[in-house]
């Protein structure tokens, strides 16, 4: 199993580190445009192998796509992150050009690759990857919902004063400060709806804290987060590489599901060796349906900037 990670910055390196530690891939290639950077990150990570107990071979390259040839999975993290006070959508001007070139190069060298798009604004970048590569829709996956759901569980556990392993929950919709839809109605603590334990006000607070999860960290760190993003990507890569058939909310091209078409947005999918093996349609309440439509409109507005 060969995995390429484009962008050896904060998220790309964290993702390569977690893939290494989980020890399921034979090879990870890190590629970056900055001279020597991916090689340096790869060497540093490889010097953790005997300490962390993994055999995955991690190598780095400066923009040489021939080294990525034959990749089963490729992760795109190349592009600029936001600074405090910015939205993810403001990154489109620079990141669209990068994601277009990178996705074309990846597919040229690995025609059977499954792409995982991370660069922001992620839903639009996943849509752009479809436009620029023409890959079948099961082979382009936008990562956002897995991370947002992890943050949702963190906030739920905080409110419930319980371990995160006690809680379950999912975030659908656009990966943006206003477009996320944490499904509080369906969240549970050991199968018991969380509304049995938390007031409506507290649940609304959990929802709001989840939606601004990325912005909160960006304000604290001065740039956007990388540990949880890297871990979330590594979980998607593992689900595909190990044919796990696990369910994650991912940004995928819809064709009528949830009443939406011709956009990528976060919905639950089953991930296995073929990438997206199934889109799961969760029955939504009228309010959730309305919120999903608004979120989709926000995605379409950003997609329209690709042609502006």
Ligand X SMILES: O=C(O)C[C@H](O)C(=O)O
Ligand Y SMILES: NC(=O)c1ccc[n+]([C@@H]2O[C@H](COP(=O)([O-])OP(=O)(O)OC[C@H]3O[C@@H](n4cnc5c(N)ncnc54)[C@H](O)[C@@H]3O)[C@@H](O)[C@H]2O)c1
Q: Is 225 in the site for ligand X (CB under 6 A)?
A: yes
Closest contact distance (angstroms) between CB of 251 and ligand X is: 11
Count the site residues for ligand X by CB under 6 A.
Answer: 11
Enumerate the known binding-site residues.
7-12, 32, 82, 88, 95, 118-120, 151
| SS3 annotation, 10-76 | HHHHHHHHHHHHHCCCCEEEEEECCCCHHHHHHHHHHCCHHHHCCCCEEEEEECCHHHHCCCCEEEE
Spatial separation of the C-alpha atoms in residues 278 and 282, rounded to whole Å: 12
Judged by CB under 6 A, the residue of 77, 78, 95, 120 near ligand X is 120
Q: Contact, 144 vs 230, CB < 8 A?
A: no
Site for ligand X in 159-188 (CB under 6 A): 175
Q: Is 98 in the site for ligand Y (CB under 6 A)?
A: yes
Closest contact distance (angstroms) between CB of 88 and ligand X is: 5
Judged by CB under 6 A, the residue of 149, 218, 251, 295 near ligand X is 218
Q: Is 174 in the site for ligand Y (CB under 6 A)?
A: no
User: Of 286, 92, 289, which Cα lies nearest the Cα of 173?
Assistant: 289
Q: Is 229 in the site for ligand X (CB under 6 A)?
A: yes
> At 52, phi and psi to the nearest 5?
-95, -10
Tokens of 294: 């608004």
Closest contact distance (angstroms) between CB of 38 and ligand Y is: 8
Q: Is 16 in the site for ligand Y (CB under 6 A)?
A: no
In the list ligand Y, ligand X, none, the entry touching 235 (Cβ below 5 to 8 angstroms by class) is none
Tokens of 74: 């490729």
Among 130, 139, 153, 175, the active-site one is: 175
Judged by CB under 6 A, the residue of 4, 224, 235, 251 near ligand X is 224
3-class DSSP state of 296: helix
Cα 210 from chain centre: 15
Q: Is 79 in the site for ligand Y (CB under 6 A)?
A: yes
Spatial separation of the C-alpha atoms in residues 135 and 252, rounded to whole Å: 12
Active site residue 109: no
In the list ligand Y, ligand X, none, the entry touching 10 (Cβ below 5 to 8 angstroms by class) is ligand Y
* CA count, 13 A, side-chain hemisphere, 8: 25
3-class DSSP state of 118: coil
For residues 52-78, one letter each, b for 16 or more C-beta atoms within 10 angstroms of the residue's C-beta and e for the rest, the string is eebebebbbbeeebebbeebbbbbbbb
Q: Contact, 117 vs 87, CB < 8 A?
A: no
Give whichever of 9 and 60 is closer to ligand X, judged by the CB atom. 9
Residues that bind ligand X (CB under 6 A): 81-82, 88, 120, 147, 175, 214, 218, 224-225, 229
Residues acting as catalytic residues: 175
Residues that bind ligand Y (CB under 6 A): 6-12, 31-34, 37, 77-82, 88, 91, 95, 98, 101-102, 118-120, 122, 143-144, 147, 175, 223-226, 229
């Amino acid at each position: 199993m060969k995995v390429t990670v484009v962008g050896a910055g904060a998220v790309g390196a964290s993702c390569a580190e977690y893939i290494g530690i989980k020890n399921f891939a034979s090879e990870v290639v890190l590629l970056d445009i900055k001279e020597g950077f991916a090689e340096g990150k790869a060497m540093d990570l490889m010097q953790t192998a005997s300490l962390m107990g993994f055999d995955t071979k991690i190598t780095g390259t400066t923009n040489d796509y021939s080294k990525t040839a034959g990749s089963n999975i490729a992760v795109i993290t190349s592009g600029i992150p936001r600074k405090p006070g910015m939205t993810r959508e403001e990154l489109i001007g620079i990141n669209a050009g990068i994601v277009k070139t990178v996705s074309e190069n990846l597919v040229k060298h690995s025609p059977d690759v499954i792409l995982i798009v991370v660069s922001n604004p992620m839903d639009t970048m996943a849509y752009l990857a479809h436009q620029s590569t023409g890959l079948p829709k099961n082979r382009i996956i936008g990562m956002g919902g897995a991370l947002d759901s992890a943050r949702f569980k963190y906030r739920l556990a905080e409110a419930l004063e319980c371990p995160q392993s006690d809680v379950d929950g999912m975030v659908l919709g656009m990966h943006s400060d206003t477009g996320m839809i944490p499904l509080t109605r369906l969240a549970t603590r050991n199968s018991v709806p969380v509304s049995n334990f938390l007031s409506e006000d507290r649940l609304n607070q959990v929802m709001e804290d989840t939606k601004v999860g990325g912005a909160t960290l960006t304000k604290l760190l001065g740039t956007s987060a990388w540990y949880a993003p890297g871990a979330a990507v590594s979980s998607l890569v593992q689900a595909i590489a190990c044919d796990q058939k696990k369910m994650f909310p991912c940004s995928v091209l819809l064709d009528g599901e949830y009443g939406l078409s011709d956009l990528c947005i976060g919905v639950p999918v089953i991930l296995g060796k073929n990438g997206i093996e199934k889109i799961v349609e969760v029955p939504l309440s009228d309010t959730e349906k309305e919120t999903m439509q608004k979120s989709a409109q926000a995605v379409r507005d950003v997609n329209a900037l690709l042609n502006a």
